[in-house]
Structure 1
């Protein structure tokens, strides 16, 4: 696991070679063990690397890694778990491969198979290869988007980096905010790929690669699309499920240092721990809890650990610690990021990093197993609103202001907040299920964006050939998983030199889960059916079949009291991008304890502190 950065200047002002070390070292927390640099002065190209040593702790994997014939140069962030199997395949086809590390095997795979090599890889990765002969840059990102890769192109220069801060350290950057990306952030709390908060800057989508040539032509290809797995049905057997699951998890234990496990006590993390124990692995688990009982799952984590006979280290997330974490947010997450669970994730990563360099999470389980509660809310409302959609009730509501309708409802004893009203109205107007689902998960509604003079940007392809649960899962797989969930764990962990791996994201396990009949995932309004049935082998039903709690933080309560001062002064940074009247009205409603979507308050705050941190 590492951090990579580099670029290629074609014309205009040249500053890359003088600033590349600064660009690299601003991400030193993610690669504290080693660093390297490769430059081609005749064409103003540079590749740089910071290393966190996990597989092959020797200097043999020093990067940038140069091929034996010196044609190719590699900078690589991530892990290829099946590198030994790939090496054996290369050897069987006549390629000399010593397989001392996944770095060597990756580059030799590219030399032999070209861009098709990426289809062989089981792992998480973002890597860039420079071809000296053809004068081309190749940039790749893994199938799920576990590892990030930003790139910047303004016609004169191409830059890439594991984190936006690496690009922000370049001296001749056009630091303009992309209003479409800002709209998406305020709507969802994260910025979906390929968008980035900066103009001319993008995130390479999961399962994609770029080729950049010496004429500054950029071509993007998608080598993986999850829709293929959703559309190809697979027969379910327990033997297949267990085999794919065990293989996926076991691969993530490939390491030359000890591996820990994040344990919440929920279905997914309990599944990972149970399989590891069943396979005979020894490991320690780590959990975070809260003083506030409605947010605290640590008691369930302890029960899981006790039953399996594993060590469980527990840490309590106190308000005082959260104060310090909030101050770090705009630097660690160097573009606006609104998921409040980033705070306990950062705390847990800090604690684990004191004893471990690698830990397993269990992200992806909700998308694969249909686990989010919002999936079931959306289904219920889609069915409930059918009658009202038929008679175009929403179009009647459009004739009046939201405030008028809400006031009218109150006279009949119906209390409803403006956010709920707008969500219902937009869902009643939805012409497709996916549009209905987007209205379910958006915080800044269309109407909020228009009041702030921001564009409404729709994301997500319509796939009416999929059933409704699969449509929601597919949308979240393409956007929410990579740009929220995996971004959250990547930044929190790499900021403290910790590698977090995702054992439920194995290639074959994902393909299997996305293709099995929905009956094995959803039954009687409850998700993760197959996960829960498998866990009955290890745990009592009362521990498995309980209400989902998620990984939340009592931030709204704290923000109304002890952290209310955070909103003082900082909201001035909204000026020029958000309507001042809108922001002040929203904060007054929040202070008056009216029905307000707190996420809107938090997202505005996050955007403002980000602008202040990066002086944009």
Structure 2
């Protein structure tokens, strides 16, 4: 895992700009750095070394012929340069140059294919295999690789920059075009270091964030900076023109006819065992996260079969210490598997102090309280290993969310006339009888209630229009996800499968995988996700619905196969997630005052109606749970101050902690500087 960046229309004097872009991402790659600056192209790289520790430095440059002598590595280990303030730069022309973030797990298989075709490889790195694969097979290399990746390849022959992002969006890739100059990076903060970009807030992103709790649009919170979508590649021409295309889609296929649950589970198990084997490939130790649930428990058990000395890591919260929490479940399973487990109970004070660091590393505001838990589990893991396996993606692929069961419960009612259902729901609500929400859900399409009503923790369109001072009338959440729903319907997916597909295309990449990458990289740790492997998805995609989710059970086939590796109590356990006690914490007087101070800050006055903010906090203190809405607004305010007002990181502010949190500013809002929207 690494940090990459670069731009077109580069001049020799731009070496310092490239270095600045690399340095701001030093946490992504503390082991090495390098740059390519030639042909008007600048490519920068920060390295976290996990494969071919001596030979895998980047950028990597080579000619199109098969001769090994033509391969050049532009990078070097940190500390080896005689001028420590200089980034090692290769300016020698090469027909191809690459910067790459991620891992190609089947690179050894592909290396054998390339050698059989006559190619000579100088290193044992996956970077060289990826670059040589592009030279040999062109864009079709994407059809052959298994892994997580974001990369850019300068193709001198075609005079193009070829960029691509992995199948599910595990690795981030941001870009902007400024007066024909294409600029890209693994993190937005790197692009902000380029003088051609002038930061400007994208207000439409704020409105969607209030509804989704994450940045849900292709354009980020920074106007003009975009995310390359998952499973997309793009060709960048010298004039800044971009040709983008989708090279893969996570489509669920027709179920295998006559396949028993046992056979289906075996197929899933075979794919998972192979995936864990590939994800364990490294020249450093690979550990595993382990929570109380089936996903990480099964994954860790498979890794323990590969490596009996594997180290596992778990976090929980001090409020639950002594209870049957994440840590107690994980510690007991670790004992049964005979593997080590390092764990930590997160104290409330630690949680609050971590917030600005989390928001800085996320680049865009995150209203997900569990990101802080990831921050700490990554922290404790990074002290012992350089890479970990994590269980993200299992819920989306195998039907793990209980909300996927909802259409089954309302299926019969859904056949009744919609006006009748709505009128009945209104009557029940008026009479105070339970069941109104159930009838309302039955009267709506999956798309209507799944992303607008069912969540219940973020803001509806009406609520965000009330709370914002100057709403820009951004599209409602239904409009944002409707293209994905339409595609799912075009393929005749049933309603739970529609949900899975839309989650993969939105929630998974926009929230789950983003925090997985950013929180791990905050601690220079690589997070690998074996469930999000092409072959694992292939096994999941042909499961009949009743082998994914039924009215009684979620993840049916996955639970079945997990019994071959973990005890029944873990295989059948319901999903717990990261239970963050924010709701209770925010009712404590000191914490309520912290929030109130932020809600009275100049930033809040700029964007939000104070009466609505006060109402949110007062309702929460009176007993209603408004914690997620409070948290969503609070994190935006903290993020905005960091990126648009003070324009410093919390690490720079450690000497003067009044900048963020905690500190004197919380008690005296007048200390805040004058602010504007740009």
- Over residues 231-250 of structure 1, what are the superposed CA-to-partner deviations in whole Å (9 max), with x where a residue is unaligned? 57575544432221111111
Residues 1:449 and 2:464 aligned together? yes
Instruction: Work out whether residues 532 and 545 of structure 1, in 8 Å CA contact, stay in contact via their aligned partners in 2.
Output: yes
What residue in structure 2 maps to residue 364 of structure 1?
393
Report 1:346-495 matches (<5 A).
Answer: 346-377=375-406, 379-380=408-409, 387=416, 389-391=418-420, 393=422, 409=430, 412-413=431-432, 427=441, 430=444, 432-439=445-452, 440-441=454-455, 443-451=458-466, 452=468, 453=471, 454-457=473-476, 458-460=479-481, 461=484, 462=486, 463-464=488-489, 465-495=492-522
Seen in structure 2, the aligned counterparts of structure 1 residues 415 and 433 have a Cα distance that, compared at 3 Å, is: closer
Moved more, 217-226 or 525-534: 525-534
What residue in structure 2 maps to residue 124 of structure 1?
148
Counterpart-to-counterpart distance in 2, 1:128 and 1:304: 42
Q: CA deviation at 1:497?
A: 0.6
Residues 1:24 and 2:22 aligned together? yes
Residues 1:546 and 2:544 aligned together? no
Q: CA deviation at 1:542?
A: 3.1
Q: CA deviation at 1:127?
A: 0.4
What residue in structure 2 maps to residue 165 of structure 1?
189
What residue in structure 2 maps to residue 7 of structure 1?
7
Structure with bigger RCO (C-alpha 8 Å, 6+ apart): 1
Instruction: Work out whether residues 141 and 209 of structure 1, in 8 Å CA contact, stay in contact via their aligned partners in 2.
Output: yes
Seen in structure 2, the aligned counterparts of structure 1 residues 166 and 395 have a Cα distance that, compared at 3 Å, is: farther
The one of 177, 192, 198 aligned to 2:201: 177
Counterpart-to-counterpart distance in 2, 1:341 and 1:383: 36
Q: Describe the SS at the equivalent of 2:480.
A: coil
Report 1:458-607 matches (<5 A).
Answer: 458-460=479-481, 461=484, 462=486, 463-464=488-489, 465-561=492-588, 562-571=590-599, 572=601, 573-593=603-623, 595-607=624-636
Seen in structure 2, the aligned counterparts of structure 1 residues 231 and 537 have a Cα distance that, compared at 3 Å, is: closer
Q: CA deviation at 1:387?
A: 4.5
In structure 1, runs of 5+ residues without a counterpart are 398-404
- Over residues 365-386 of structure 1, what are the superposed CA-to-partner deviations in whole Å (9 max), with x where a residue is unaligned? 1111111122234653565566
Seen in structure 2, the aligned counterparts of structure 1 residues 506 and 584 have a Cα distance that, compared at 3 Å, is: same
What residue in structure 2 maps to residue 288 of structure 1?
315
What residue in structure 2 maps to residue 34 of structure 1?
32
Q: CA deviation at 1:116?
A: 1.2
Q: CA deviation at 1:295?
A: 8.5
- Over residues 65-95 of structure 1, what are the superposed CA-to-partner deviations in whole Å (9 max), with x where a residue is unaligned? 1114511111111111111100111122222
Residues 1:610 and 2:658 aligned together? no
Q: Describe the SS at the equivalent of 1:391.
A: helix
Counterpart-to-counterpart distance in 2, 1:155 and 1:568: 43
Instruction: Work out whether residues 358 and 498 of structure 1, in 8 Å CA contact, stay in contact via their aligned partners in 2.
Output: yes
Instruction: Work out whether residues 292 and 325 of structure 2, in 8 Å CA contact, stay in contact via their aligned partners in 1.
Output: no
Counterpart-to-counterpart distance in 2, 1:329 and 1:297: 22
Counterpart-to-counterpart distance in 1, 2:324 and 2:182: 44
- Over residues 151-195 of structure 1, what are the superposed CA-to-partner deviations in whole Å (9 max), with x where a residue is unaligned? 112444321111111112223323222233222211111123523
Tell me the TM-score normalized by structure 1. 0.90
Q: Describe the SS at the equivalent of 2:549.
A: coil
Moved more, 382-391 or 166-175: 382-391
Q: CA deviation at 1:517?
A: 1.0
Q: Describe the SS at the equivalent of 2:331.
A: helix
Report 1:324-335 matches (<5 A).
Answer: 324-335=353-364
Seen in structure 2, the aligned counterparts of structure 1 residues 597 and 15 have a Cα distance that, compared at 3 Å, is: farther
- Over residues 209-245 of structure 1, what are the superposed CA-to-partner deviations in whole Å (9 max), with x where a residue is unaligned? 1111012211111011112x44575755444322211
Q: CA deviation at 1:142?
A: 0.4
Seen in structure 2, the aligned counterparts of structure 1 residues 396 and 363 have a Cα distance that, compared at 3 Å, is: closer
What residue in structure 1 maps to residue 112 of structure 2?
88
Counterpart-to-counterpart distance in 2, 1:81 and 1:478: 23
Q: Describe the SS at the equivalent of 1:66.
A: strand
Instruction: Work out whether residues 30 and 48 of structure 2, in 8 Å CA contact, stay in contact via their aligned partners in 1.
Output: yes
- Over residues 35-91 of structure 1, what are the superposed CA-to-partner deviations in whole Å (9 max), with x where a residue is unaligned? 111223x73x32111000000111x22211111451111111111111110011112
The one of 232, 237, 251 aligned to 2:278: 251
What residue in structure 2 maps to residue 107 of structure 1?
131
What residue in structure 1 maps to residue 650 of structure 2?
none
Report 1:216-227 matches (<5 A).
Answer: 216-227=240-251
- Over residues 402-454 of structure 1, what are the superposed CA-to-partner deviations in whole Å (9 max), with x where a residue is unaligned? xxx99x84xx55699xxxx9x88984663x32222112236211211333324
Seen in structure 2, the aligned counterparts of structure 1 residues 444 and 120 have a Cα distance that, compared at 3 Å, is: same
What residue in structure 1 maps to residue 91 of structure 2?
none
Q: Describe the SS at the equivalent of 1:455.
A: coil
What residue in structure 1 maps to residue 85 of structure 2?
none
Instruction: Work out whether residues 378 and 436 of structure 1, in 8 Å CA contact, stay in contact via their aligned partners in 2.
Output: no
Q: CA deviation at 1:28?
A: 0.2
Counterpart-to-counterpart distance in 1, 2:353 and 2:111: 46
Residues 1:67 and 2:62 aligned together? yes
Counterpart-to-counterpart distance in 2, 1:383 and 1:162: 47
CA RMSD of aligned residues (A): 2.7
